[in-house]
Amino acid sequence: MLRLNEMSDSGEPPGVAYVYLCAGGMGKLSDFVSKGVRLIVVDPESSGGEAHGADAPSSARGPQPRDIPAEEIASPPPPPARSDVAMEIEDFGAVYDEAGVTIPDHGYGVDKIAEMLQGKRLSSLSREVRAQAVLAALEAAQVDVKDVIADAVRRDKALDAFEAAKERELHELRAKNETRVRELRQEMETLLTKINAEIERLKAAAEGAEKAFSQLQIRKRREEERLHEVVANFVEAPDNPITAGSLQGSTPPKPSA
């Protein structure tokens, strides 16, 4: 049994109101309601003043609970599967607005009750006294506590839906980005393959040109030797103008890798 306000060690003091949540285990408020939780408001005065008398039967003594069926907690329509509210938002007011969660017409929502509990007049008091004061204020305003619980449930569902929507967006963004990363890597690999092929082609062209130039030098030397031999029949060696066996110019330097 989960109780909103815990009892003192001496038991429930007379005149103090309690709100009970009966369930098989702990969990979110909306989980309690969705699983058919009985919300019980205990009102000491509802049992009558004679309940505390010495001659009152034991069954009449103590506060009598009043059940708030789970079906009385109206479930709002589910919020949209997607949310336009930014994930980095600090104030969840926009989340509640997007989900259509509004303050009850009588003005007593969970936020107002929180303000009442944290007010200067109540904040220093015990939890039991604070609960008694708030329940008394609700009774005076003719407000059922189930309206406050229902407001909290609607907000809890809106937060759950917002979280689910943002988690879905995260998964979609991650999948989209991973796909794009794979595409970019494939494009990069394709480009690198093309660039490497171009580099190899240019290197092969340069090596081919060097080889062709070396062959040219050999053929040139042979041709000069032939010319030298022909002219040597008519001109003495010192005066032969043909430079047989010598290479004119120099081999061009190889480009750096």
The per-residue pLDDT for 32 is 46
Report the pLDDT value the prediction gives residue 90, as an integer from 0 to 100.
87
Classify residue 207: in a domain, yes or no: yes
Q: pTM score, two decimals?
A: 0.52
Q: Measured between alpha carbons, how far is residue 237 from residues 98, 166, 232, 248 in Å?
A: 107, 97, 6, 19
Q: Is residue 219 part of a domain?
A: yes
Which among 2, 5, 6, 68 has a CA at the least distance from the CA of 38?
68
- Residue 191 placed within a domain: yes
Residue 192 lies in a domain: yes
Q: What is the pLDDT of residue 120?
A: 81
Low-confidence ranges of the chain (pLDDT < 70): 1-80, 245-257
Strands (E) in 7-89, as ranges, are 18-22, 38-43, 64-68
- Which pLDDT does position 13 carry in this prediction? 40
Q: How far is CA 83 from the centre of its chain?
A: 13
Helices first, then strands: H and E counts in the chain? 6, 4
102 within some domain: no
In a domain, 71, yes or no: no
pLDDT of amino acid 129: 86
Q: Which domain holds residue 234?
A: 187-239
Sheet containing 38-43, strands listed edge to edge, beginning at the edge strand earlier in sequence:
2-3, 18-22, 38-43, 64-68
The two structure tokens encoding residue 51: 């309940």
Asked, for residue 208, whether it belongs to a domain, the answer is yes
CA 116 to each of CA 17, 44, 102: distance values in angstroms, whole numbers, following the listed order: 16, 21, 19
Check: CB of residue 52 under 8 Å from CB of residue 61. yes
d(CA 119, CA 226): 117
Domain count, the chain: 1
- The closest of 191, 109, 195 to 144, measured between CA atoms, is 109
